[in-house]
């Protein structure tokens, strides 16, 4: 071999090593998706703003002939502004208990009679936490009901958003006494830290609160993503006699350093899996930081009395079908064209509770299922996993052409009956207003979801041009936050009944909306609906006609076959 050939081989070898090193460095230098951002709710103050009557609109809307049993209004932005707690978005969450429904939003909490929809309490979030023993509140509330403990649990930012506070009711009565505790969710660098987007879940051992951690690079700087924390608190510390504590809890911190090769992908907006199954392992799911997938990991070594000896397993991707981040959702207003595609449909984080039943995990999120780099319509993606192997048993996208679907939530009962709630909107003037929708499914033996009720309209918005930060008749200004949550919960006294809560658009705060002297701003409302999973869909009249025609055709064919057989004999 000549010296020239040897030199060329050395050059090629060096080039190959350089390429490999470059590829390796790029693989290590993972950068989180840029839209995974700080989401603290925004307080707005408009001079002369008028509140809605605090007695509210709580009369139920009966629908006894179908799967949609009844619905009633929850907390509205008018209610929050009555307390001087005027936030966007509402961060809509609620849960059903033994005899009540409790709803929390940014600014105001309410309790309702679950069978009549009558509102029995409305207080500001600050007043609720003060009665429970804390000073101040900063939003991002969540609430759940423990059927095994017959008690409520609520969670929120503290007065300082680096802190998280937990309240537990003394009894099953949400109007009775509550006691609370507080802990530091994310200390950050000592200034401006936020334990953002706290999630809430329970199983037989622990309460799980996941946070996205943000802090500025320096005092007064812009908040940037610093990683996640999964806080695991043993049930006995919260639900035993006496005040709740965070003793024997464990915090699993996954730091993020922009471009660092040390990043571990345990996902963003980590959601513990709600489960009534016994065992020493808890499960967590989250949306991947770096690619378009869902990741899952376990918390092992748990007991109801302690999490201090627990550990987390490696995070693995489930390998779901391709998708992109959703684009802004559409609405039909033709008056101001700039407002027709401004509603923030969120991103693909798993924003609602995740449930395990019968060895299967059920979850939903918002996606654009067409991974083509174009702003297509958003869809609600549901996924059913094998709880032991993480294998995908079923996945599907809820939606139809011409509409955006977003802010989904899900729940499942012990029979495998599933209800999914979501918002839908589009450009169609007749049906495109932002609407709160829902539908029920049954779980087949192979884990597939089979539609039971069809799509149900639970509540249609009162306007076709919802937008934040500007007045009626003006183009939308600023970020058009919607959501950030919705929720579905199973009635602990009748598991065929599912309670859903979601957001809709109320009337404008102006004279035409019944508010003389108002400033004309957009206003959100929340709606609570009850779906009976045992009631199948009732065909529309046109469907009945097709069914009758089909039966007649079958009868005619059978008659003709018998006649032909008779002639042949």
Q: Which of 12-16, 74-78, 111-115 has the lowest mean pLDDT?
A: 12-16
Cα-based torsion angle of the residue sequence 515, 461, 438, 68 in order, rounded to the nearest 10 degrees = 60
Residue 489 phi, psi (nearest 5): -135, 150
pLDDT in tens, 90-137: 999 999 999 999 999 999 999 999 999 999 999 999 999 999 999 988
Q: pLDDT-based confidence at 236, cuts 50/70/90?
A: very high
SS3 131: helix
Q: Convert 86-98 to b/e letters by CB count within 10 Å (16 or more is b).
A: bbbbbbbbbbbbb
Q: pLDDT-based confidence at 474, cuts 50/70/90?
A: confident
Q: pLDDT-based confidence at 34, cuts 50/70/90?
A: low
Both tokens of 256, joined, read 């993020």
What pLDDT does residue 478 have?
80
Both tokens of 322, joined, read 């391709």
Measure the CA–CA gap between 363 and 382, rounded to whole angstroms. Answer: 6
Q: pLDDT-based confidence at 68, cuts 50/70/90?
A: very high
What pLDDT does residue 45 have?
60
Q: What is the chain's length?
A: 569
What pLDDT does residue 201 have?
98
Q: Report percent pLDDT > 70 for the chain.
A: 82
What separation in angstroms does the CA of 261 have from each of 251, 294, 365? 23, 21, 28
Classify residue 233 as exposed, middle or buried by CB count within 10 Å of its CB (0-12, 13-18, 19+).
buried
User: Does the pLDDT of residue 362 top 70, yes or no?
Assistant: yes
Q: pLDDT-based confidence at 46, cuts 50/70/90?
A: low
Measure the CA–CA gap between 263 and 185, rounded to whole angstroms. Answer: 20
Measure the CA–CA gap between 77 and 459, rounded to whole angstroms. Answer: 17
Both tokens of 200, joined, read 């809430």
pTM for this structure? 0.88
| Paired strand residues for 217 | none
What pLDDT does residue 468 have?
84
What pLDDT does residue 219 have?
61
Q: Which of 21-35, 242-256, 513-527, 545-559 has the lowest mean pLDDT?
A: 545-559
Mean pLDDT throughout 447-460? 96
Delimit the domains of the chain by residue range. 59-135+320-538, 185-317, 544-569
Dihedral sign (CA 356, 405, 93, 59) = negative
Quote the strand ranges of 85-170, DSSP E: 87-88, 93-96, 100-104, 108-113, 119-124, 142-146, 151-157, 163-169
């Amino acid at each position: 071999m000549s010296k020239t050939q040897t030199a060329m081989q050395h050059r090629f070898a060096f080039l190959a090593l350089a390429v490999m090193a470059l590829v390796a460095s790029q693989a290590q230098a993972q950068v989180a998706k840029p839209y995974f951002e700080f989401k603290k709710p925004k307080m707005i103050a408009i001079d002369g703003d008028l509140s809605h009557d605090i007695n509210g609109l709580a009369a139920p809307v009966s629908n006894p002939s179908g799967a949609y049993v009844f619905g009633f209004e929850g907390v509205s932005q008018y209610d929050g502004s009555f307390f001087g707690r005027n936030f966007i978005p509402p961060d809509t969450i609620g849960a059903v208990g033994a005899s009540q429904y409790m709803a929390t939003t940014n600014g105001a909490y309410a309790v309702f009679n679950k069978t009549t929809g009558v509102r029995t309490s409305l207080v500001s979030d600050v007043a609720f936490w003060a009665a429970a023993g804390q000073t101040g509140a900063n939003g991002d509330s969540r609430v759940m009901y423990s059927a095994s403990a017959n008690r409520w649990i609520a969670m929120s930012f503290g007065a300082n958003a680096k802190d998280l506070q937990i309240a537990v009711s003394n009894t099953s009565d949400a109007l009775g006494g509550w006691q609370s505790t507080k802990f530091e969710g994310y200390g950050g660098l000592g200034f401006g830290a936020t334990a953002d987007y706290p999630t809430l879940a329970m199983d037989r051992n622990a309460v799980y609160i996941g946070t996205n951690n943000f802090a500025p690079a320096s005092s007064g700087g812009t908040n940037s993503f610093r990683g996640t924390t999964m806080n695991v608190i043993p049930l006995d510390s919260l639900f035993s006699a006496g005040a709740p504590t965070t003793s024997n809890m464990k915090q699993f911190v996954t730091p993020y350093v922009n471009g660092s090769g040390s990043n571990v992908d345990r996902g963003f907006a980590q959601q513990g899996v709600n489960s009534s199954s016994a065992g020493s392992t808890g499960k967590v799911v989250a949306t991947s930081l770096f690619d378009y997938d869902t990741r899952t990991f376990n918390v092992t070594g748990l007991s109801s009395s302690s999490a201090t000896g627990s550990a987390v397993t490696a995070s693995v991707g489930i390998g779901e079908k391709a998708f992109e981040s959703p684009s802004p959702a559409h609405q039909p207003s033709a008056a101001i064209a700039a407002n027709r595609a401004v509603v923030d449909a969120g991103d693909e984080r798993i924003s609602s509770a995740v449930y395990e039943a019968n060895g299967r995990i059920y979850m939903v999120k918002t996606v654009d299922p067409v991974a083509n780099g174009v702003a297509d319509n958003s869809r609600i993606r549901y996924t059913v996993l094998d709880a032991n192997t993480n294998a995908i048993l079923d996945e599907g996208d809820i939606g139809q052409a011409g509409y955006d679907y977003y802010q989904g939530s899900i729940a499942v009962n012990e029979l495998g009956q599933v209800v999914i709630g979501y918002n839908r909107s589009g450009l169609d003037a007749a049906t495109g207003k932002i609407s709160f929708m829902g539908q029920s499914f049954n779980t087949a033996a192979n884990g597939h979801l089979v539609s039971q009720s069809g799509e149900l309209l639970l509540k249609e918005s009162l306007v076709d041009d919802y937008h934040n930060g500007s007045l009626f008749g003006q183009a939308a200004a600023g970020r058009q936050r919607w959501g950030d949550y919705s929720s579905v919960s199973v009635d602990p006294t009748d598991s065929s009944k599912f309670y859903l809560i979601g957001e809709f658009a109320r009337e404008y705060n102006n004279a035409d909306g019944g508010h003389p002297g108002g400033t004309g701003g957009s206003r959100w409302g929340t709606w609570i609906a009850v779906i009976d999973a045992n009631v199948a869909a009732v065909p529309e009249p046109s469907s009945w006609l097709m069914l009758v025609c089909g039966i007649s055709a079958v009868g005619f064919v059978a008659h003709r076959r018998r006649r032909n057989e008779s002639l042949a004999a």
